[in-house]
Amino acid sequence: MLDPTSSDDVFVVHGGAPLRGTVRLSGAKNSALKLMAAGILCDGVLELREVPAIADVPVMADVLRGLGLGVDLDLEANTCKLDASEEPDWHAPADAVSRIRASLSVLGPLVARTRRARLALPGGDRIGARGIDLHLRGLEAMGATVWERDGEVEVHADDLHGALLTLDFPSVGATENLLFAATLADGETVIDNAAREPEIQDLCRMLVAMGATIEGIGSPTLSIEGVDRLRPTRWETCPDRIEAGTYAMAAALTGGDVVIERVRPTDLTLPIIKLRAAGVVVEEGADSLRVKAGELEAVDVVTLPYPGFPTDLQPQLMVLLSQAAGTSRCTENVFESRFSFVEELRRMGADIDIDGHHALIRGPAPLHGATLTGLDVRAGAAGTMAGLVASGETIIRDVHHVDRGYADWIPRLQALGADVRRVPAAQLGAADA
């Protein structure tokens, strides 16, 4: 469970044990946070299930409470009830908003429901510039006036109307915010070059259950006909495909044999293709995957918006490829600074060269333990994985990043047989500090 003192904890990892057993996936982080934001649109109580016990969820709950919503979050039961029967406040509280980038997801719902919004420009992972120009330009095309000043953005849209929006890039966050705004706008909105990640499909389907009119779900063109109000519903968050990919790669990396339950294999088509090409045995069930180690071989991978290979699995993949025979090429196309993790991996002995957004990984290179710091949510998981095959002891600092995206990361790895512990940083000896 989440520990409020967790940011001072570290992970201590000893390598060598193959992961074996079964792991059941949590609800997807990148779905749950948006489903929660959709609570703003609901004229009544929205009931969410399979809400993951990750640190970003209570922060999002705080953002929504700050807007006046009634929030009943139970992370033990993985449920969240959101009550926006009363019209929300339109000024989001800066302290919570600045802690996670996903809080930007309240922008579209607020503009839709109250025709205005003011929020601090959000925080989150330090991976690249992560602008919000596509969100704001889209809202302007729908009749909004936008100001940015003193680290805040303010949007007024008394006449919020449908528009034809062609995105420069299929941004996940921009697609979601414009979709939210369009659900209660006057007339039809078409979002072209829309992102179509499974989490966006999940959101679209829930909005339809709430009474929204959306066509083209799962395609690059979404057509939304605005309605007057959205009504309460109950919804189960889709499983976390990034968590699935992480455990799959950890199993393959450690020479293990792991069954992943509550997974949708169709959400992971390209990662499964790449794992198989890398020599990993992947058996697909209707809602499960069995991942067994094989002789790891080099593969080339390019990250792209869905259905491309997810950038959120790239650091974990780099660890896997560092142990594969031959030279792999990995190209990062979504976040320019996502390779910052490579420097940490190199300090553990990985043989990786970076040229712009391309990486050359030569393997297998024996890894040795090190102290890793300043990682983002995915790099923190990847660092833990590197520790699982390194000689000696690996220490992961700043573990609050991992808490943002992985529910019970350490207990679940322990249940699979890993030699990992979470301890207060103060318990480490001076040599580790």
For the annotated catalytic residues, the residue numbers are 125
**How far is C-alpha 321 from the chain's CA centre?**
22
Nearer to ligand UD1, 170 or 369 (CB): 170
Closest to ligand UD1 by CB, 303 or 384: 303
Q: Which residue number, 83 or 125, has a Cβ lying nearer to ligand UD1? A: 125
Nearer to ligand UD1 (CB atom), residue 30 or residue 233: 30
Q: Calculate the CA dihedral of residues 275, 279, 285, 290 and round it to 10 degrees.
A: -100
Site residues (CB under 6 A) for ligand UD1? 30, 33, 101-102, 128-135, 169, 171-174, 311-312, 334-335
Which lies closer to ligand UD1 via its Cβ, residue 16 or residue 131? 131
Q: How far is the CB of 133 from ligand UD1 (least distance, A)?
A: 5
Of residues 72, 140, 65, the one with CA closest to residue 95: 65
Closest separation between CB of residue 335 and ligand UD1, Å? 5
Q: Give the integer Cα–Cα distance in Å for 433 and 422.
A: 15
Q: Tell me how far apart the alpha carbons of residues 367 and 384 are, in angstroms, rounded to a whole number.
A: 12
Least separation, in Å, of the C-beta of 186 and ligand UD1?
24
**What is the closest distance, in whole angstroms, from the C-beta atom of residue 231 to ligand UD1 in the complex?**
25
CB-nearer residue toward ligand UD1: 128 or 294: 128
CB 99, min distance to ligand UD1, A? 13
Closest chain position to ligand UD1 (CB): 173
Smallest gap from Cβ 274 to ligand UD1, in A, equals 16
Return the number of the residue (99 or 101) whose C-beta is nearest ligand UD1: 101
SS (H, E, C) the chain: CCCCCHHHEEEEEECCCCCEEEEECCECHHHHHHHHHHHHHECCEEEEECCCCCCHHHHHHHHHHHCCCEEEEECCCCEEEEECCCCCCCECCHHHHCCCHHHHHHHHHHHHHHCEEEEECCCCCCCCCCCCHHHHHHHHHCCCEEEEECCEEEEECCCCECCEEECCCCCHHHHHHHHHHHHCCECEEEEECCCCCHHHHHHHHHHHHCCCEEECCCCCEEEEECCCCECCCEEECCECHHHHHHHHHHHHHCCCEEEEECCCHHHHHHHHHHHHHCCCEEEECCCEEEEECCCCECCCEEECCCCCECHHHHHHHHHHHHCCEEEEEEECCCCCCCCHHHHHHHHCCCEEEEECCEEEEEECCCCECCEECCCCHHHHHHHHHHHHHCECEEEECCCHHHHHHCCCHHHHHHHCCCEEEEEEHHHCCCCCC
